[in-house]
Structure 1
């Protein structure tokens, strides 16, 4: 175990571990087009991530120029988006920075690694498989497999429990204030990635995933 005593690293997925904005934008634009709504950019999608699929759809509808919309439209776009995204989860998705090397190195040290994401679990697992990280991830808990999704602390606690972490010390890595709030509420040390949202307070800041090799 490291000098810091972290035996567990849990990561957010979209915007932290992987850049999935292009694939999400493709699926979203397919759904929006089917409803006669204009397209959104990958940058607009990236800014809308973190709160789960329903909030993503709502933010994308706003970004596409809709001033008002009802829950029926949100549900219909969400269904079309989900179908498309499940069929094409990782055509363009890539891992950020050096995650592809660092996570296997931590796993080899005996560090438990989990993913706590507001993406739905099956799609998250498909993405992790596509980018070649499934073998080192011990638990994936999406927003559909916890009764208390982020920013509620139960989501992170459920992920740690699923890893069988016991009393090992946990580090949570994220990219948004939602991630920071989740860690703080759960009493877990938080690390913010440099490519995440600006101004998010954290105990550790990662200029690169390489920094985890000395922090953990």
Structure 2
């Protein structure tokens, strides 16, 4: 199987966890705090995976670094209160991470989310020990689709790029994996279906991230 791998790297939001409602609440609340037009839930969902500054531009159409920084500060304030409690690990992802750990397969996470939130979410369901390396948004200078985060995780795990598989829900995940030289598989818990992934030339799971256990080399 061409996508078999000896190490697995994952995006976080909408790949391993359902954080949709938490992100919607934080994004809409932050923009309301700024007295700007509040975007609909669908628009917010489409922004998941972007940095906070890019999310502000996407949701408002406003190109202003100072306002984007203000949005980020409001968002983080709301997220500090609700993000971990409102985020749930997908049951299929829970099963996969535990099985990979059982098989001694190295696992890492590369996300734009703060590392501390990823750690807290995993710890909430006793999964932190299943992940050896976490690269959060604060750990890189250049975010996806730049490969910096993936390359930093691979270095920490001492794994060659061509031996690793990166898994994500967004086109920028596929672009980052390609730039890093890793294999890529898309999940269908984000905006893209398996048919949509195929149309852009990417392999994907059919139904569940748990299918990836068959990719272990």
TM-score, L = length of structure 1:
0.86
Work out the CA distance in 2 between the residues paired with 1:39 and 1:53: 16
- Say if 2:34 is the partner of 1:76: no
Aligned partner of 1:93 among 82, 87, 96: 87
Q: Which moved more, 1:27-36 or 1:178-187?
A: 27-36
| Structure with the bigger percentage of helix | 2
Aligned partner of 2:110 among 116, 120, 131: 116
Work out the CA distance in 2 between the residues paired with 1:51 and 1:167: 23
Work out the CA distance in 2 between the residues paired with 1:181 and 1:96: 24
Work out the CA distance in 1 between the residues paired with 2:213 and 2:31: 42
Q: What does residue 6 of structure 2 align with? A: 7
Work out the CA distance in 1 between the residues paired with 2:42 and 2:3: 36
- Say if 2:27 is the partner of 1:33: no
Contact 1:11 1:115 in 2 (8 A): yes
3-state SS of the aligned residue for 1:6? coil
Contact 1:28 1:81 in 2 (8 A): yes
Q: What does residue 65 of structure 1 align with? A: none
Work out the CA distance in 1 between the residues paired with 2:22 and 2:76: 12
Task: Identify if the C-alpha distance between structure 1 residues 128 and 53 changes in structure 2 by more than 3 Å, giving closer, same or farther.
Answer: farther
CA RMSD of aligned residues (A): 2.3
TM-fit CA distance, 1:148: 3.1
1:1-216 aligned at under 5 Å gives the runs 6-62=5-61, 68=62, 70-165=64-159, 169-198=163-192, 199-200=196-197, 201-216=201-216
3-state SS of the aligned residue for 2:144? coil
TM-fit CA distance, 1:70: 2.5
Work out the CA distance in 2 between the residues paired with 1:78 and 1:139: 25
TM-fit CA distance, 1:69: 5.3
Structure 1 unaligned segments of length 5 or more: list them.
Answer: 63-67
Structure 2 unaligned segments of length 5 or more: list them.
Answer: none
